[in-house]
């Protein structure tokens, strides 16, 4: 999964980002060890400040 995230604009996110695979949040400490399988849905959510 790290390869996928590193390909995002700006590179590997360092803060304010959550990742879910098939609707289940993947803890940041597991990103480097969580393989992705064909057909899985990945959501990358960023925190945005504003009003």
Greatest extent of the chain over all pairs of C-alpha atoms, in Å: 38
What pLDDT, on a 0 to 100 scale, did the predictor assign at position 38? Answer: 93
The rounded distance, in Å, linking the Cα atoms of 46 and 24 is: 16
The pair phi, psi for residue 37, each rounded to 5°, is: -110, 155
In the chain, beta strands by DSSP E = 17-21, 24-26, 42-46
Of 2, 24, 49, 22, the residue nearest 14 (C-alpha): 2
Q: What is the pTM of this model?
A: 0.77
Task: Check residue 14 and give its pLDDT.
Answer: 75
Task: Give pLDDT, residue 47.
Answer: 85
**Could you read off the pLDDT of 1-51 as tens digits, one per residue?**
788 888 888 887 778 889 999 999 999 999 989 999 999 999 988 888 887
pLDDT at 26: 94
């Amino acid at each position: 999964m790290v390869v996928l995230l590193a390909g995002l604009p700006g590179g590997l996110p360092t803060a304010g980002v959550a990742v879910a695979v098939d609707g289940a949040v993947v803890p940041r400490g597991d990103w480097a060890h969580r393989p992705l399988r064909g057909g899985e849905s990945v959501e990358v959510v960023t925190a945005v400040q504003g009003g």
